[in-house]
């Protein structure tokens, strides 16, 4: 009997037509039957403030934490802002990792896809995010790495992935991620 794993997908850009969002939707569509990818919105999360956790955490934090806790694994799809991750994505990591000792990220297998219209492909964001994932104890898949450069040319006007080479690579990436999840999931 095969098990379908729920993977929550976090898109670093809040822009409606963001390349990262288009890429996340393509990943949802390309996922093997063993993975159910669901995009989790992060734009509604108030900025993390530890004082609020001591009194009354905002409802969006509580709902977000419960949702992330229910996932088997996590996937981050992010652009690069100033050689790092967008503030909204970093805030989501902070909200989920607090209060101390109650991180919802702890032990969840993860992976990162970074993208950029340029040739550097979000390399800085990818590696900054990996540093944070080490601290919140998300075992992030090492290979294959996913840096998608020239992302602006990969989608049609309706947001559909049109590049066959990228489609093949993402399919291979997701197959490897499914194996990574099974090898690293807490039983």
> What pLDDT, in 10s, does the model give residues 124-178?
999 999 999 999 999 999 999 999 999 999 999 999 999 999 999 999 999 999 9
Average pLDDT over residues 10-34: 97
Q: What sign has the CA pseudo-torsion 60, 100, 20, 87?
A: positive
Percentages helix, strand, coil for the chain, rounded to the nearest 5? 40, 20, 40
Q: Say how many C-beta atoms besides its own lie within 10 A of residue 91's C-beta.
A: 17
Domains of the chain: 5-184 (3.40.50.360)
Express each pLDDT in 68-85 by its tens digit: 999 999 999 999 999 999
Tell me if the bond preceding 99 is cis, omega within 30° of 0: yes
Express each pLDDT in 97-118 by its tens digit: 999 999 999 999 999 999 999 8
Q: Say how many C-beta atoms besides its own lie within 10 A of residue 29's C-beta.
A: 12
61/47 Cα distance (integer angstroms): 10
Tell which phi-psi region holds residue 145, choosing left (phi > 0), alpha (psi between -120 and 50) or beta: beta
Residue among 37, 120, 43 at smallest CA distance from 74: 37
SS3 label, residue 52: helix
Cβ(151)–Cβ(116) under 8 Å?
A: yes
Q: Beta strand 146-149 with 73-78: parallel, antiparallel or unpaired?
A: unpaired
Q: Return the ∠ at Cα 170 (arms to 166 and 176), rounded to 5°.
A: 145
Indicate the pLDDT class of residue 1, thresholds 50, 70 and 90: very low
Q: Which two tokens stand for residue 175?
A: 């197959």
């Amino acid at each position: 009997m095969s098990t379908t794993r729920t993977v929550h997908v976090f898109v670093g850009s809040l822009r409606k037509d963001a390349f990262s969002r288009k890429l996340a939707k393509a990943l949802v569509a390309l996922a093997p039957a063993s993975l159910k990818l669901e995009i989790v919105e992060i734009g509604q999360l108030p900025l993390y403030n530890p004082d609020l956790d001591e009194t009354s955490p905002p409802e969006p934090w509580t709902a977000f934490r419960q949702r992330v806790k229910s996932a088997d694994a996590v996937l981050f799809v992010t652009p690069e802002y100033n050689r790092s991750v967008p503030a909204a994505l970093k805030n989501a990591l902070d909200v989920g990792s607090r209060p101390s000792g109650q991180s919802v990220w702890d032990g969840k297998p993860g992976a990162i896809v970074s993208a950029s219209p340029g040739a550097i492909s979000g390399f800085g964001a990818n590696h900054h995010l990996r540093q944070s994932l080490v601290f919140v104890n998300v075992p992030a898949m090492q290979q294959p790495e996913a840096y998608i450069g020239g992302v602006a040319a990969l989608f049609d006007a309706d947001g559909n992935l049109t590049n066959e080479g990228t489609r093949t690579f993402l399919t291979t990436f997701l197959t490897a991620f499914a194996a990574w999840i099974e090898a690293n999931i807490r039983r």
